[in-house]
Amino acid sequence: MSQTKIIDGKAVSAQIKQQVAVQVSALNEKGIQSCLAVILVGDDPASRVYVNNKKKACEVCGIRSLEYTLSAQTTQDELLALIAKLNQDPDVNGILVQLPLPRHISEDAVISAIDPAKDVDAFHPINVGKIMQGTCTLLPCTPAGIMELIASTEIPVAGKDCVVIGRSNIVGKPMAMLLLHKNGTVTICHSKTKDLKQKCKAADILVAAVGIPKFVTADMVKEGAVVIDVGINRLEDGSLCGDVDFDGVAPIAGAITPVPGGVGPMTIAMLMQNTLTATKDQNKVS
Ligand code: NDP
């Protein structure tokens, strides 16, 4: 049995936020402020929690945060008008619209309306294209955070067989790209994949972004593999559970992320990193 390393997402994320804070403070000395605008439409309680956490992270990093809370009845045109105003505002470096949006608003239209230079979620089609090319300075937060977690294990990605379960636009696809850019050999699996268990079992690095509690079981994991659990599933008793059966898989894995305390905290840390990058790019400083 291998010695399993539990990857501490809270510690890595705190380190990244600390590094961001140092760089934000250096920008301040040059007279440059960093500012993130967050827009929340409606009163989804989970979204409220995420927005509050983003605000707290901004405070830790010395980033100014602006919050726009709009009613669930806000029209798409009203939301687009606010985005247009923030696009024009030179004091705003990053714009984030908290998803999901009410059903009468098109997420695609909203994402495409954000200035790509201020698109700190990196969801704009221009940024998605650049991510594919490997030329985007703004990286999709959850996959970028996962790359940091893998780096923290000091296990190189180059040459490794990487399996990503899930092909969503926000996690699975960009995750596969980032692993590919680090010279991993990447397989993307989804609900139509055949022989999923065998494919997973061949993985040196296995990323589960499925949205099904305890989907990845011990018999799907190679001895010593790095197992990254992206899933955030709320169980009936209110507790959080990942997509990986942690208790079963941890004794086999070489390194594994817990839920909570693994990938979750990294997403916000990378949002802070992206806001810093956007601020630097817009002010043409390195
Ligand atoms: P989606 O629902 O958009 O995608 C899920 C993916 O899993 C799809 O590609 C789907 O395949 C695939 N899938 C579903 N069932 C199976 C199956 N039986 N076998 C193989 N593949 C399957 O989810 P997201 O990518 O948005 O999120 C995934 C998880 O990560 C969720 O739990 C979410 O809460 C969490 N999450 C966590 C974040 C964090 O910060 N930690 C950030 C974002 C998400 P198909 O395409 O064929 O339908």
Averaged over 75-99, what is the pLDDT?
98
Predicted confidence (pLDDT) at residue 113 exceeds the cutoff of 80:
yes
CATH number of 166's domain: 3.40.50.720
Amino acid occupying residue 17: K
Q: Where are the alpha helices (DSSP H) in the chain?
A: 9-29, 45-61, 76-88, 107-113, 125-133, 141-152, 172-181, 196-201, 246-249, 263-283
Q: Burial-class residue 91 by CB neighbours within 10 Å (0-12, 13-18, 19+).
A: exposed
Question: CB-hemisphere CA count at 13 Å for 254?
Answer: 14
One domain for residues 239 and 148? yes
Q: Which domain holds residue 103?
A: 30-116
One domain for residues 67 and 168? no
Q: Read off the tokens for 68.
A: 């726009």
C-alpha 70/C-alpha 82 separation (Å) is 10
Q: Which of 217, 230, 267 to mutate to test the pocket of ligand 1 (most atoms within 8 A of CB)?
A: 230
124 located within any domain: no
C-alpha 196/C-alpha 203 separation (Å) is 11
One domain for residues 148 and 226? yes
Predicted confidence (pLDDT) at residue 281 exceeds the cutoff of 70:
yes
Residue with tokens 């059966």: 245
Averaged over 9-13, what is the pLDDT?
98
Spatial contact of 142 and 267, defined as CB atoms under 8 Å apart: yes
Averaged over 134-156, what is the pLDDT?
97
129 located within any domain: no
Residue 257's pLDDT is 98
One domain for residues 163 and 208? yes
Predicted confidence (pLDDT) at residue 237 exceeds the cutoff of 80:
yes
pTM: 0.97
CATH number of 112's domain: 3.40.50.10860
Residue 4's pLDDT is 82
C-alpha 204/C-alpha 184 separation (Å) is 10
Q: Using one digit for the tens of pLDDT, what is the confidence trace for 177-220?
A: 999 999 999 999 999 999 999 999 999 999 999 999 999 999 99
Predicted confidence (pLDDT) at residue 3 exceeds the cutoff of 80:
no
Predicted confidence (pLDDT) at residue 50 exceeds the cutoff of 80:
yes
Strand partners of residue 35:
64
Query: What does pLDDT average to over the chain?
Result: 97
One domain for residues 67 and 99? yes
One domain for residues 261 and 168? yes
Residue 2's pLDDT is 53
Closest CA to 167 of 138, 208, 204: 208
Averaged over 257-282, what is the pLDDT?
98
**Domains contained in the chain, number:** 2
Q: Using one digit for the tens of pLDDT, what is the confidence trace for 67-83?
A: 999 999 999 999 999 99
C-alpha 103/C-alpha 106 separation (Å) is 7
Residue 265's pLDDT is 96
Of all residues in the chain, the percent with pLDDT exceeding 90 is: 97
CA of 173 to the centre of ligand 1 (A): 11
Binding-site residues, ligand 1, Cβ < 6 A: 142, 165-168, 170-172, 189-193, 196, 209-212, 230-233, 263-264, 267
C-alpha 246/C-alpha 262 separation (Å) is 12
98 located within any domain: yes
Predicted confidence (pLDDT) at residue 165 exceeds the cutoff of 70:
yes
C-alpha 139/C-alpha 92 separation (Å) is 19
48 located within any domain: yes
Strand partners of residue 69:
40
Predicted confidence (pLDDT) at residue 110 exceeds the cutoff of 90:
yes
Helices (H) and strands (E) in the chain, counts: 10, 11
24 located within any domain: no
One domain for residues 53 and 162? no
Which residue CA neighbors atom 18 of ligand 1 most closely? 191
